[in-house]
Structure 1
Amino acid sequence: MTPVLDAGRGEQVTVGIDIGTTSVKAVAADADGVVLARARVPHGVQSPTAGAFEHDTDRAWRDGVIEALRQVADGLDVAAVNVSAMVPSLGAVDADGRALSPGLLYGDRRGRTAENDPSEPGDSGELLAFLGWLTEHAPDAAGYWPAQAVANHALTGIGAIDSTTATTAYPLHDFVQWDEERAAAAGAAVAALPQVVPGVTPVGRVLDGLPAAGALVGGGAIDAFGEQAVAGADQTGDVLVIFGATLITWSVLDDEGKAPGLWTLPHTARGKFLIGGPSTAGGMFIDRVDRWLAPATREELEALDPTDLPIWLPYARGERVPLHRPDLRAELHGAALHHGPAALRWAAYEATGFVIRHLLDLAAPAGSAPTRIVATGGGTRSEAWMHAVADTTGLPVDVVAVPEGAALGSAFMARCVAGLEHSERRFGPGLADGRRWARTERRVEPDDRWVAPAAARYDRFRELTARATS
């Protein structure tokens, strides 16, 4: 691929931006993946009614993106920018790309229909249901766009997304184009849906007056895809776990294996596949436990008895993979008077490990043979959480050096957008080479004192989950 940069621009610096559930993260990186600047712009997530799960579209998808770019681009000559975000998401916008509705997010009740197939990647049909609700409540909207398109319009004046993100809209997008009949049935014209650009084709350039003006802008990416590209979890036996607001577990396979309740996707690594999927037992659940409980000191956590902990079912907003039950709620079992905040917090971390272990158990018949966890995402900053996951899974946890994995992966994709990566691979020029940016900060080994007691609690966790879902 021929570089498309203008002569004289700073070719080696790119910016990746990730619109997360609770904040916008951004990193500026050089050609070797060294982070030169980073930013985090909080925006929160709203649940104004039971089952609702939404963003303030302007704040999270537009203003936060521009502010994050400003913070990391200051003083740098940026070649290209790429924005990743969670899927699915959808909001109604006017002709200026401003919000006419909240931004609906994955798992929102307005995406549930009898036709949904949550066993398929992307919760097939959810975005189509979002579109139907939005056309009813904002019928005069100029556009119905996911987060990436809103951000790209804010940056370039063009509401567009990349082709990979578009495929998660199936069946509204049929892997080639928007389905006119399905769009019309939902009350929308295809012209109101975002443009789709193939792979790492640039959408345009950052508008004059904005940070990094003139830099190329890619079509965007799925957040988990960005994490995957630069984590280095691409060998048989690797398990990529993303500790974000959503917990996402991917076990690396040699072949396209299937397992009930799990999703299977192609890996960026040649000839590899991923099996697993997203769970609600991530940072959002841990944050909720933090709000429920009094603080616990490091000393109190270290003094816990490995044989004496309660058990959480961590389904505060239902569960996605592998249970596919939006009606589930969090439960605490076995708590006693002598259990303080430290015990309940550690039990919450363990519950996350139990969810990961359950997915790995389910994936075993498909060929999963895990030997280590590669941990990425903001939750990796919690040492206690990483230790609990190592103990509950019995696997070493290799923590990546850059927790903003989706933003870092998006920065690597921006290099592809700018024509700075040239090898031809199945997901676009050079994208599979993102693994060279992978770095491990530390390894957390299972603690022998905790492994056996945690295994006993895992068995009980499975019994309690089976009872709750029967």
Structure 2
Amino acid sequence: MATTQYIIGIDIGTTSTKAEIFTAQGEGIVQRTIAYPLYSPEPDIQEQNPDEIFDAVINSVSSLMVQSQISPSELLGICFSAAMHSLLAVDQDGKPLTQSITWADRRSAHWVKEIREKHNGKEIYHRTGTPIHAMSPFVKLVWLKHEQPELFERAAKFISIKEYILYRWLGNYVVDYSIASATGLLNMHTLDWDADALAIAGIDPDRLSRLVPTTCCLSPIHAKYAELMGVPEQVPVIVGSSDGVLANLGVGAISPGVVAVSVGTSGAVRTVLDQPKTDPDERLFCYALTEKHWVLGGAVNNGGLILRWVRDNLGDAEVNTAHLLEADPYNILTAIAATVPPGAEGLIFHPYLAGERTPLWGSSARGSLFGLALHHQKAHIIRAVLEGVVFNLKTVLDALQDQAGSVVSIRATGGFARSELWRQMLADILNHDVVVPESFEGSCFGAMLLGLVALGRIPSFEDAATFLGDHHHHQPISANVESYQKVIPIYNDLLALFQPTYGKIAALQASLHRLGESS
């Protein structure tokens, strides 16, 4: 009888590392999630400890091998997914000189205007596909060069968190085209580092990792780490890709017109093209999956973290109730939101609590509740918050359709996809059928599929669609669509009205914060 074979998909996320063992036929066997903190001693600082993340990766794989009780000899490979835009400076020995600076860190924001105006940022965007924004390692490097020059000069390499894991595992500095294309330093058309971007950042190519395809397989793993995880030293390690593009693969959004909408901590709307493309209005990113698969889309800062903000600041009673009932407080909050009709009786929320990427590309963007009246209660606020996240996603979808054509199908993934209310809200506001595949967490599943393609077990990404099953299917409810069609124009009008004030309110908040600290 043939021995069953397995593959591990690892997703290094912003708030946790998820790892899962799958059979070679794509069936999930065991999953493990290990969370870690995001350090924010000041509002603009959003960092993580790279060694905490490294330990989470080691421990998650070790736990999978113990729980699954599979034989190490049955393991085909390990493939990685990782969050984009992280930056970590390391010395000659590979020791971190900084924390892992995440996409959400805003300390470099004031360099964006200079890059756009003095260094023709528009041309850099059209070559690299990465909007000029504080999220990108390119902008972070400019900030470090000018504001922390001693540290900048000490750094032997500037890498992402996935590169750090791979270096410690394998002893090589490699970066896949996907993670590299999200740095703002990779020329999409040549698949090499962009000389002008590197010159502005003040670095040479030797201070970056070697570029490799996402399907690149490496070995061996250092013996001590292989032993800790319970895997063979020679097991193929597939470098893998970024979480965003793998979410598309993981939900089957690979064909033209098929759009993936994912909402975890942050969110994104993406589709796949066969060649790189940028947006004349610079609203969208374009990142590589492979040399022949390019993901065009827009990312938003404000996804599930907005609901977490509601839980932490408005949900004390619901958290206590959930604790007593041994329930999920988010389920209680969404159940409360469901008691309010679509449109939250005219309460409109702009979800820009963490600044915003698409469609604003402004670190100074701020959130707002507009239309508050005496009849509004907490349930209206919760509903408006959920709706505001989706209204914002619709602005991204509209921009995507401008460049990539009409939507054929929408496939949803991420933590929000667990909520029936949110799934229906997505269908109603986007006015389109929404399908949720069996795997809510598309990036881990996508890493597994990429690994099987890299190992020759699946002929192509298009053939990987046979591994997918549909779990939920939502159609727009006409009465809800009618309500939302009345809200959307006002949402957009308010956005245009508020945008010129975002910089002023952000400056005011910073000034008052400093006054508060000094008093």
Whether 1:314 and 2:344 are equivalent positions in the alignment is: no
- Structure 1 counterpart of 2:102, one-letter code: L
**1:190-205 alignment runs, 5 A limit:** 190-205=205-220
User: Which fold has the larger relative contact order, with Cα–Cα distance below 8 Å and residues 6 or more apart in sequence?
Assistant: 1
- Structure 1 counterpart of 2:115, one-letter code: E
Residue-by-residue CA offset, 1:381-408 (whole Å, 9 max, x unaligned): 1222222222211222211211221111
- Structure 1 counterpart of 2:262, one-letter code: I
Residue-by-residue CA offset, 1:65-103 (whole Å, 9 max, x unaligned): 112222223323322112221221111234554432111
2:379 to 339, 342, 367: 342
Supply the distance in 1 between the matched residues of 2:404 and 2:214 (Cα, whole angstroms).
30
Supply the distance in 1 between the matched residues of 2:392 and 2:217 (Cα, whole angstroms).
38
Whether the 8 Å CA contact 1:309–1:344 is kept in 2: the answer is: no
Secondary structure at 1:446 match in 2 = coil
Secondary structure at 1:463 match in 2 = helix
Residue-by-residue CA offset, 1:301-339 (whole Å, 9 max, x unaligned): 332133514111101111111211111111111223433
**How far 1:361 moved relative to its partner?**
2.7
**How far 1:169 moved relative to its partner?**
2.9
Given the superposition, is the C-alpha separation of residues 242 and 356 from structure 1 closer, same or farther in structure 2, using an over 3 Å criterion?
same
Residue-by-residue CA offset, 1:172-226 (whole Å, 9 max, x unaligned): 6674444678657645554442233234122323332231232211223111111
**How far 1:462 moved relative to its partner?**
0.5
Give the match for residue 30 of structure 2.
Answer: 37
RMSD: 3.1
Give the match for residue 122 of structure 1.
Answer: 130
**How far 1:274 moved relative to its partner?**
5.2
**1:45-64 alignment runs, 5 A limit:** 45-60=38-53, 62-64=54-56
Whether the 8 Å CA contact 2:97–2:151 is kept in 1: the answer is: no
Whether 1:210 and 2:228 are equivalent positions in the alignment is: yes
- Structure 1 counterpart of 2:244, one-letter code: A
Whether the 8 Å CA contact 2:338–2:421 is kept in 1: the answer is: no
Whether the 8 Å CA contact 2:424–2:475 is kept in 1: the answer is: yes
Secondary structure at 1:228 match in 2 = helix
- Structure 2 counterpart of 1:36, one-letter code: I
**How far 1:365 moved relative to its partner?**
3.9
Whether the 8 Å CA contact 1:259–1:362 is kept in 2: the answer is: no
Given the superposition, is the C-alpha separation of residues 185 and 304 from structure 1 closer, same or farther in structure 2, using an over 3 Å criterion?
closer
Whether 1:330 and 2:362 are equivalent positions in the alignment is: no
**How far 1:105 moved relative to its partner?**
1.8
**How far 1:258 moved relative to its partner?**
4.6
- Structure 2 counterpart of 1:229, one-letter code: L
Secondary structure at 1:70 match in 2 = helix
- Structure 2 counterpart of 1:131, one-letter code: L
Whether the 8 Å CA contact 2:131–2:184 is kept in 1: the answer is: no
Mean Cα deviation higher: 139-148 or 168-177:
168-177
Supply the distance in 2 between the matched residues of 1:254 and 1:183 (Cα, whole angstroms).
27
Give the match for residue 88 of structure 2.
Answer: 91
Whether the 8 Å CA contact 2:6–2:22 is kept in 1: the answer is: yes
**How far 1:140 moved relative to its partner?**
3.0
- Structure 1 counterpart of 2:445, one-letter code: L
Give the match for residue 79 of structure 1.
Answer: 76
Secondary structure at 1:361 match in 2 = helix
- Structure 1 counterpart of 2:430, one-letter code: T
**1:37-436 alignment runs, 5 A limit:** 37-60=30-53, 62-74=54-66, 75-76=69-70, 77=72, 78-94=75-91, 97-112=94-109, 113=111, 114-115=114-115, 117=121, 121-124=129-132, 126-132=136-142, 133=144, 136-137=150-151, 139-171=153-185, 175-178=190-193, 186=201, 188=203, 190-208=205-223, 209-211=227-229, 212-214=231-233, 215-251=235-271, 258=279, 260-263=281-284, 265=286, 275-294=296-315, 295=318, 296=332, 300-306=336-342, 308-366=345-403, 368-421=405-458, 423=459, 430-436=460-466
Supply the distance in 1 between the matched residues of 2:204 and 2:292 (Cα, whole angstroms).
38
Secondary structure at 1:220 match in 2 = strand
Gaps of 5+ in 2: 319-331, 501-519
Equivalent pairs, count? 454
Supply the distance in 1 between the matched residues of 2:95 and 2:265 (Cα, whole angstroms).
26
Give the match for residue 426 of structure 1.
Answer: none
1:454 to 484, 487, 492: 484
TM-score, with structure 2 as normaliser: 0.78
- Identity, in percent, stands at 25
Given the superposition, is the C-alpha separation of residues 391 and 97 from structure 1 closer, same or farther in structure 2, using an over 3 Å criterion?
same
**How far 1:24 moved relative to its partner?**
0.9
**How far 1:230 moved relative to its partner?**
2.5
- Structure 2 counterpart of 1:213, one-letter code: P
Given the superposition, is the C-alpha separation of residues 158 and 274 from structure 1 closer, same or farther in structure 2, using an over 3 Å criterion?
closer
Given the superposition, is the C-alpha separation of residues 313 and 136 from structure 1 closer, same or farther in structure 2, using an over 3 Å criterion?
farther
Given the superposition, is the C-alpha separation of residues 380 and 228 from structure 1 closer, same or farther in structure 2, using an over 3 Å criterion?
same
Whether the 8 Å CA contact 2:177–2:290 is kept in 1: the answer is: no
Given the superposition, is the C-alpha separation of residues 135 and 196 from structure 1 closer, same or farther in structure 2, using an over 3 Å criterion?
farther
Supply the distance in 1 between the matched residues of 2:494 and 2:97 (Cα, whole angstroms).
43
Give the match for residue 5 of structure 1.
Answer: none
Secondary structure at 1:24 match in 2 = strand
Mean Cα deviation higher: 343-352 or 358-367:
358-367
Gaps of 5+ in 1: 1-8, 424-429
More helix by share: 2
Residue-by-residue CA offset, 1:287-312 (whole Å, 9 max, x unaligned): 22222212355653332133514111
**How far 1:167 moved relative to its partner?**
3.0
Supply the distance in 1 between the matched residues of 2:447 and 2:101 (Cα, whole angstroms).
22
Given the superposition, is the C-alpha separation of residues 456 and 275 from structure 1 closer, same or farther in structure 2, using an over 3 Å criterion?
farther
